Structure formats: structure tokens, C-alpha cells
């Protein structure tokens, strides 16, 4: 896809209808989208990866990262213009983003122009745990372990999917974590211990057909889970509770951060687990969460 993006941007240079600021905005939006695809797919993106589902998930990820509504609307317009270019150039057989535009538009329409930090409520957490725990499918054991571990530690998706079986010490109730800031620690599993033990004993053996697979969390297709896979898991279960919630890593991590702060965990530990480079960022987040979140735990 990189070659097609370069060609598209080059075509704008000769079109007097586009101001320099517009061309720069297009280049920035496409670079961010390409980085998102590369991270979620764990490979170089292809033109076929430009789908309405991928764009909707990208915009939702941007929303959860705190982007303004105006930024999301602009990025949608950029990707639609890029899709139209590929169609007119004969690279795509159809304008793929117009064929299922409602997926993308629904994501945009769900974004509030007033942004506040949010957390899961106690009721939502209880509904999710009950729903996943009663599911008979092996993947539910994995999904429950992922959710409870995220709620207990606030780990980033990147750190979560990099975990190996050797990082888990169930007997000691601890997890070896190398945070995004490079800190090497052992973190208490707390409430995640039971769900992880059940996953190791009941869920993982049914999902893995490779006895030497080192990854802690594996997909139904074998092998280490991807970022996109974690997003899909959370969104799936979030849609099933009443009322539905757009369950995302950001929402779960905010809940975990507030939980850890209320339990008296040191700011430095919370900062490391969240991957913040500056403690002031962690302090500012916790202030927003304390001000905006209600019934948590």
C-alpha cells in the first residue's frame, strides 16, 4: 500500500484544487492509517487491507486515543479520497469504502464532541465477567483471562500480546512484564490469578495445536494474538452486555488505572504499567478519572 499512497500524494502535487495544507493533512492521515495497519496486522499493509471494517476500526482506535471529532471526520474524508483514487486508477475493482459506508459513518456518529475520561462501572464489569464465565467455548477462558489481566494491570495491548508462558508464575501469583518504557518488573496478578489458571488448564490446550508455542495468549488460528485480535475480543463482549458498551483497551486501561490508584499503588508503578514517559501525564489522567468516573469497583 505504501507505493499507492506515494502515487496518490504525487498526483495531488499537480492538482491546483488542493492547497499545500490539504496535501500535508492527507499525507499525515495516510501515514497514521498505514502505521495502524502495520501494527494491527503485524505485516506490511496491502491495498486489499483498505476495507470499510479496517477504516471503522482505525477511526474507533483514534477515537479511543483521544482524537477530536474534527480530526476523525478529516481522516474519514482522506481515506475516502484515497479509495476513490485507487478505483479511478484501476487498482481497485470498486470504491470499497462506499460499499459499506454505514460501518464508518456509525463510528463517526457515535463520537461526542465533548470528550471526558471514562471508566467501566462496577455493574458493567460484573455483567462482562458473568457473561464470559458462563460461556462454554474455550476462547471464552482466554478472553476472560485477557480482560481480568487488563483490569488488574492496565497493560498496553503491545505488552499484553508480547507475554510468554514463561512470564507467568501462578504459584507466586506474579507476572513478568517488560513495559513500553523498558522497565523490567514482576507484577502481582491479584484478581486475575484464577482466570489465568483456568485459561492455562482449560482454554489454552484446546486453542493451541503447537506444543512448543511460547505465547501466553494465542488465537483460534494458532500463534500469538495480534493487536487487532485483542480489539475484536473486547468489542465482541462489550456488544453483548445490556446496554452495550464500546469496550476498548483504552477504556479498560483507564478503569485499571483508577483501580490501582484507589488501592494505593505508587504513581511510578502505574506510570510504568501504562507506558507513560512522564509522571505528569499519569497524574493528569488520574485527576480526570477521579473527576469523571462514578461507581467503579
Distance CA 29, CA 118 (A): 26
Percent of all residues in the chain with a pLDDT value above 70, rounded to a whole number:
93
Buried b (16+ CB within 10 A) or exposed e, 240-262: ebeeebbbbbbbbbbbbbbbbbe
Res 297: pLDDT = 47
Query: What is residue 147's predicted lDDT score, i.e. its pLDDT?
Result: 97
pLDDT score of 8 more than 80: yes
pLDDT of 284 higher than 90: no
Listed in sequence order, the residues at least 6 apart from 233 whose beta carbon sits closer than 8 Å to its beta carbon are 143, 146
Partners of 168 in beta bridges: 175
Contact of 44 with 61, CB cutoff 8 Å:
no
Those residues whose C-beta lies under 8 Å from the C-beta of residue 65, and which sit 6 or more positions away, are 250
Cα distance between residue 96 and residue 75, in whole Å: 16
| CA pair distance 172, 196, nearest whole angstrom | 13
> Looking at residue 117, what is its pLDDT?
45
- Please tell me what DSSP assigns to residue 202: I
Residue-level pLDDT at 294? 56
Distance, CA of 21 to CA of 103 (rounded, Å): 28
Give the pLDDT band (50/70/90) at residue 165: very high
Instruction: Provide the pLDDT for residue 90.
Output: 87
Show Cβ contacts of residue 271 under 8 Å, excluding neighbours closer than 6 positions. Answer: 279, 281, 282
* pLDDT tens sequence across 168-214: 999 999 999 987 667 788 999 999 999 999 999 988 988 877 878 99
Domains and CATH numbers, the chain: 2-109 (1.10.150), 122-292 (1.10.443.10)
Cell (9 digits) for 202: 482449560
- Reported pTM: 0.62
Which cell numbers in the block locate residue 5? 499512497
Chain mean pLDDT for the chain: 86
The DSSP bridge pattern shows strands 184-188 and 174-178 to be antiparallel
Residues contacting 144, CB < 8 A, separation 6+: 129, 132, 133, 195, 198, 199
Residue of 34, 82, 24, 23 lying closest to 58 (CA atoms): 34
CA distances for 196 relative to 43, 63, 211, angstroms = 29, 30, 18
The residues that bridge with 175 in the sheet, in sequence order, are: 168, 187
Q: Pick the more confident residue, 258 or 95.
A: 258
Evaluate whether 242 touches 277 at the Cβ level (below 8 Å): no
**What is the b/e burial string over 17-44, where b = at least 16 CB atoms within 10 angstroms of the residue's CB?**
ebeeeeeebbbebbebbbebbeebeeee
Better pLDDT: 112 or 85: 85
Quick check: helix, strand or coil at residue 280? helix
3-class SS of residue 233: helix
Amino acid at each position: 500500500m505504501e507505493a499507492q499512497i506515494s502515487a496518490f500524494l504525487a498526483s495531488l502535487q499537480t492538482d491546483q484544487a488542493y492547497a499545500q495544507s490539504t496535501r500535508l493533512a492527507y499525507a499525515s492521515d495516510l501515514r497514521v492509517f498505514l502505521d495502524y495497519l502495520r501494527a494491527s496486522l503485524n505485516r506490511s499493509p496491502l491495498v486489499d487491507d483498505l476495507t470499510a471494517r479496517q477504516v471503522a476500526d482505525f477511526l474507533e482506535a483514534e477515537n479511543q486515543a483521544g482524537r477530536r471529532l474534527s480530526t476523525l471526520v478529516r481522516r474519514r474524508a482522506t481515506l475516502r479520497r484515497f479509495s476513490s483514487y485507487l478505483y479511478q486508477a484501476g487498482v481497485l475493482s470498486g470504491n470499497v469504502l462506499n460499499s459499506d459506508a454505514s460501518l464508518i459513518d456509525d463510528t463517526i456518529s457515535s463520537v461526542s464532541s465533548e470528550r471526558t475520561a471514562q471508566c467501566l462501572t462496577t455493574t458493567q464489569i460484573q455483567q462482562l465477567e458473568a457473561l464470559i464465565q458462563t460461556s462454554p467455548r474455550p476462547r471464552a477462558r482466554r478472553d476472560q483471562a485477557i480482560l481480568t489481566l487488563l483490569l488488574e494491570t492496565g497493560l498496553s495491548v503491545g505488552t499484553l500480546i508480547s507475554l510468554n508462558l514463561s512470564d507467568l508464575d501462578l504459584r507466586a501469583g506474579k507476572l513478568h512484564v517488560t513495559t513500553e518504557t523498558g522497565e523490567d518488573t514482576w507484577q502481582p496478578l491479584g484478581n486475575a490469578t484464577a482466570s489465568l489458571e483456568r485459561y492455562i488448564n482449560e482454554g489454552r490446550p484446546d486453542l493451541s495445536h503447537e506444543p512448543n508455542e511460547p505465547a501466553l495468549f494465542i488465537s483460534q488460528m494458532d500463534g500469538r494474538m495480534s493487536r487487532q485480535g485483542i480489539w475484536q475480543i473486547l468489542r465482541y463482549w462489550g456488544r453483548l452486555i445490556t446496554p452495550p458498551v464500546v469496550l476498548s483497551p483504552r477504556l479498560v486501561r483507564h478503569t485499571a488505572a483508577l483501580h490501582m490508584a484507589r488501592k494505593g499503588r505508587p504513581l511510578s508503578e502505574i506510570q510504568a504499567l501504562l507506558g507513560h514517559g512522564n509522571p505528569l501525564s499519569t497524574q493528569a489522567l488520574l485527576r480526570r478519572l477521579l473527576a469523571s468516573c462514578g461507581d467503579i469497583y
